[in-house]
Amino acid sequence: TQLLEQSPQFLSIQEGENLTVYCNSSSVFSSLQWYRQEPGEGPVLLVTVVTGGEVKKLKRLTFQFGDARKDSSLHITAAQTGDTGLYLCAGVVGSRLTFGEGTQLTVNP
Amino acid sequence: NAGVTQTPKFRVLKTGQSMTLLCAQDMNHEYMYWYRQDPGMGLRLIHYSVGEGTTAKGEVPDGYNVSRLKKQNFLLGLESAAPSQTSVYFCASSYITSGGNEQFFGPGTRLTVL
Name the residue among B50, B99, B105 with its Cβ closest to that of A48: B99
The span from the CA of B78 to the CA of B70, in Å, is 20
| Closest residue by Cα to residue A89 from A40, A39, A29, A41 | A29
Interval A61-86: pLDDT, tens: 999 999 999 999 999 999 999 999 99
CB-based contact A30 B100, cutoff 8 Å? yes
Interval B51-62: pLDDT, tens: 999 999 999 999
Q: Find out whether the peptide bond into A8 is cis, omega within 30 degrees of 0.
A: yes
**Partner A contacted by B61 (CB < 8 A):** no
Interval A5-64: pLDDT, tens: 999 999 999 999 999 999 999 999 889 999 999 999 999 999 999 999 999 999 999 999
**Partner A contacted by B90 (CB < 8 A):** yes
Please report which helix (H) or strand (E) contains residue B42, including its range: none
